[in-house]
Chain A
Amino acid sequence: MRFIVMVKANKDSEAGILPTTEQLAEMGTFNDELVKAGIMLAGEGLHDSSKGVRISYDGKKRTVRDGPFTETKELVAGFWIWQVKSKQEALEWAKRIPFQEGDVEIRQVFEAEDFGAEFTPELREQEERQRQAIARNRKR
């Protein structure tokens, strides 16, 4: 199963302050361990929210707001995707992240079987039609 491990933003990450050489080296060692353990599928850091944009949906209405956004602790500054056997395994790995402060949130990624009855044959058919349309467009 897969988990996304989200690193929450803090004052520094939001101010666009990059990690120190030492912090980067520690993180590099930790990432190496994840790769060597065969569990790391992806991992990225994100620009601060001042470079981001938010879209709110209300019926047909779209409202677009530019960053920065204020609720720092709710923002995501980076993430990993890990493939492990259990939530506990993800948790044990997360405890080893070389952070001195801040928060990390672990969430399980949906797998096909988790959708169950919600992913109806009709929805699948719709996906199929979209796929065919895309294929036709590409040929033009």
Chain B
Amino acid sequence: MSPPKAAEAIDAVWRIESARLIAGLARMVGDVGLAEDFAQDALVAALEQWPTSGIPDNPGAWLMATAKHQAIDHLRRRTMQDTKHEHLGRELDERQGDPEEAIADALDDQVGDNLLSLIFTSCHPVLATEARVALTLRLLGGLTTDEIARAFLVPKSTIQQRIVRAKRSLAAARVPFEVPRGPELAARLESVLEVIYLVFNEGYSATAGADWVRPALCEDALRLGRILAELAPDHPEVHGLVALMELQASRIRARVSPTGEPILLLDQDRGRWDHLLIGRGLAALTRAEGPGGGYGPYGIQAAIAACHARARAAEETDWTQIVALYDALAQLMPSPVVELNRAVALGMAFGPAAGLELVDSLKDDPALASYHLLPSVRGDLLAKLGRFEEARAEFARAASLTQNSRERALLQRKGEAL
């Protein structure tokens, strides 16, 4: 096999196996950073050997075995050191017994507890949000530092540092490698969902740069969400988030014109929506209802997306239902951004004046002071009311606030078209 071909194949194997590999090793050594080092060592060994020896029949098992040897060596060394400090040695003996056996146990992850622990650790609240995102994409998504850097338009060295520091913080805070239980679980799960949705959103409407959408990031987030839904099927909000992402992703190819300009929801050609993803999203939504029957915040947002997905034409949208869902969302998760969305729905259901009234009450909210969608929504409503002069000023203001060049052009055009 030629070296470039082998490198591509190793890449693919890595993407399939790395998360499980790292999770198993982390269960063993109790340290995510160390676990990734062992996994990386195995990857380097593969890159050295496979181009000449060919790819093994079971490449995953090969990587596991190689990393396992590294981990066993490490544990033996540590046990020897620890016999010098006897109290620590005893503790390790009790906990681990025979390293070979312990590794076999750790790598046997039938219920997915290792992977789930890895997700919770990567999204641990001791880390800054940026660090959680980078670590999750790296450890769970199997992305290289380079890929993460390109996705977030930052230098590779920045991501490298972020990951190194994140691993150090986890070790320093002695974050246990486990799935949180009891009352801690809900808050920790929220952090995991937030990280996944953040990745999705960065792909869905990029906050900066020349492309309005970066579908690859959406796919990474969806993949993480789908994995999580299998690992933690008893949590309705996990399905709520997956439903939301599937439904939003179903519109990706209708959201951008062939020349890269954004196309807004109501102007989209619904024939180009992805019905495979819509079907998946609606199915996930049926699993998103809590034991009491209601949705959580992600479930509600997914239900709103489902209203759009079910409308075959923009004018068939059930805006009254959407207003009701936004009302429920505002109760659960009061925020000015939710209010702004509610204003759009109100405007569609009950006329632009109703929407404008709500938007005007948000005008002085400091949280929205530099949010380009506030003037953009206000501009739309004013234009519908025939107040073109004011609308033009709002679109100009919105254009000056967005960091995304495609979106800026769209907003400028809207203003000029009036």
Taken together as a complex, chains A and B put the C-alpha atoms of A116 and B258 apart, in Å, by 7
> Scoring A residues 25 to 45 as 1 if CB is less than 8 Å from chain B, else 0, what string do you get?
000000000011111011000
- Please, which residues of chain B bring their CB within 8 A of the CB of A127? 269, 271-272
A64 within 8 A of B: no
A83 x B59 contact (CB < 8 A): no
Are B227 and A38 in touch, CB under 8 angstroms? yes
Q: Does B187 contact A (CB under 8 A)?
A: no
Query: Count of B residues near A, CB < 8 Å?
Result: 34
- Choice from A38, A86, A115, A119 contacting B225 with Cβ under 8 Å: A38
CA distance A84 to B15 in the complex (A): 9
Task: Establish whether residues B269 and A128, one from each chain, have CB atoms under 8 Å apart when the complex forms.
Answer: yes
A80 at the interface (CB under 8 A from B): no
Q: Which residues in chain A, 58-107, are within 8 Å of chain B measured between CB atoms?
A: 81, 83-86, 88-89, 91-93
Q: Known: A35-B226, A89-B15, A111-B253. Contact between A135 and B269, CB under 8 A?
A: no
A-contact 0/1 string along B234-266, CB 8 Å cutoff: 000000000000000000010010100000000
Summed over the interface, the residue pairs from A and B with CB atoms below 8 Å come to a total of 78
Q: State whether B8 touches A93 (Cβ < 8 A).
A: no
Contacts of A128 in B (CB 8 A): 269
CB contacts under 8 Å to A, within B209-229, are 215-216, 219, 222-227
Q: Is B270 an interface residue (CB 8 A)?
A: yes
Residue in B59, B216, B222 whose CB lies within 8 Å of A38: B222
The answer to whether A83 touches B270, judged by C-beta atoms less than 8 angstroms apart, is no
- Asked if B358 CB lies within 8 Å of chain A CBs, one says no
Interface size on A, residues (CB 8 A): 33
| Known A39-B223, A119-B258, A135-B316: A89·B271 in contact at CB below 8 Å | no
Does B99 belong to the interface (CB within 8 Å)? no
- Provide the residues of chain A in CB contact with B270, threshold 8 Å: 131
Convert B44-79 into 0s and 1s, putting 1 for each residue whose CB lies closer than 8 angstroms to a CB of A: 000000000000000100000000000000000000
Is residue B12 contacting chain A, with contact meaning CB distance below 8 A?
yes
Does A124 interact with chain B (Cβ within 8 Å)? yes
Known contacts A86-B8, A88-B8, A92-B9; A38/B313 CB under 8 A: no
What is the bound-complex CA distance between A131 and B273, given in angstroms?
12
**New A-B contacts (10) at CB < 8 Å, excluding given A88-B12, A117-B258, A135-B315:** A38-B227, A39-B223, A81-B276, A91-B12, A92-B12, A92-B13, A116-B258, A124-B258, A131-B271, A132-B313
Residues of B within 8 A of A (CB): 8-9, 11-13, 15-16, 59, 112, 215-216, 219, 222-227, 230-231, 253, 256, 258, 269-272, 276-277, 280, 312-313, 315-316
11 residue pairs from A and B, CB less than 8 Å apart = A38-B225, A38-B227, A38-B230, A83-B223, A84-B15, A86-B8, A88-B8, A89-B15, A92-B59, A127-B271, A131-B313
Point out residues on A near B: beta carbons under 8 Å: 35-39, 41-42, 81, 83-86, 88-89, 91-93, 111-112, 115-117, 119, 121, 124, 127-128, 130-132, 134-135, 138
